[in-house]
Amino acid sequence: MGNFTTGVKETRFYNDVISGLSGFPKQLFSKYFYDAIGDKLFQQIMNCDDYYLTKCEMEILELQTEAIIDSISADDYFELVELGPGDGTKSIKLLKELTHKKADFTYIPIDISHSVIDNLEALVADTLPEVKTSGMNGDFFDMLNQLRNSNGARRVVLCLGGNIGNMTVGESHAFCGKLRQSLSKGDKIIFGFDLVKNPKIIRRAYDDSEGITKRFNLNLLERMNRELCSDFDVKKFEHYCSYDPETGSCKSYLVCLQDLEVHFPEAVIPFKKDEYIHMEISQKYTLSQISDMAHKTGFVVDRNFFDSKKWYVDSVWEA
């Protein structure tokens, strides 16, 4: 145990957590939601009735596969880089169509979760053995730097599922700008953006009636207890979600229900009653914000693919 707790302090997770909980307001990075249990809970979120994003995007990818593929592929070899593929059910539709069209490409999924990459490589090997796959494990920003020094092949980047929503508008601009620098003229990106809509629908998606999102948030406290030897009493924290139609920001918090202290191997974090931890932002966009972001970061919008409700868009950008 002694050695284990010393090891804990060396991890980036520990350092991010301690600095995030030492400042004001307290916050945690949403990328840490995704341990093995978090992956499963997110899977359940995607399948629950209130979370519409996945259904909208699946509809787009199913009904407009050919047109999407036509917008990204040509006769040349390319690398298909996917940021945050999740369980692969979305991208597999595109991979199938690409294989069918005999496109020459390598699939490079990148994810923060080890298990996601392992499962995905197995799934692709099983269902589409002809696809060359080479998964990478890490966070997007770290991976962007690695992407820069490669072989000159044309690149198509997929950032589906509304993953970009986990950044603030400012962070997304910075991210797209950086991404542009690691790409060459003619390379493409498909971004999945969740669009602004009736505020009630959005809030319900992040505070679902089955309480899965609540468990998803609380799991990060439990994950810290498991991996960082902290002693969060999760019963003393309540999930709260707000959506502001003026800014398009949907935010999740865990609110502390009483004064308490949480102990880590080498830190004590005090909480006041009603103090909150900011857990996650899920930013919603208008179409003009999307094209504005593309132009400001060195891209042009090629085409937008919508679901039938126009709740969500897969936006194809060219560098």
Choose the binding region for ligand AVJ from 8-16, 73-81, 163-171, 218-226 (rule: CB under 6 A): 163-171
Per CB under 6 A, the list member of 113, 119, 133, 163 interacting with ligand AVJ is 163
CA–CA distance, 110 with 135 (Å, rounded to integer): 6
Contact between 85 and ligand AVJ (CB under 6 A)? no
Residue 213 interacts with ligand AVJ (CB under 6 A)?
yes
User: Whose Cβ is closer to ligand AVJ: residue 129's or residue 170's?
Assistant: 170
- Find the binder of ligand AVJ among 38, 85, 162, 248 (CB under 6 A): 162
Q: Which of 17, 41, 53, 124 binds ligand AVJ (CB under 6 A)?
A: 53
- C-beta of 187 vs 208, nearer to ligand AVJ: 208
Q: Which range touches ligand AVJ (CB under 6 A), out of 60-68, 97-105, 156-164, 222-230?
A: 156-164
Range in contact with ligand AVJ (rule: CB under 6 A) among 5-13, 92-100, 161-169, 260-268:
161-169
82 binds ligand AVJ (CB under 6 A): no
CB closer to ligand AVJ, 86 vs 135: 86
Examine residue 248 and tell whether it contacts ligand AVJ (CB under 6 A). Answer: no
Binding residues for ligand AVJ, rule: CB under 6 A, are 45, 53, 161-163, 165-166, 206, 213, 216, 280, 282
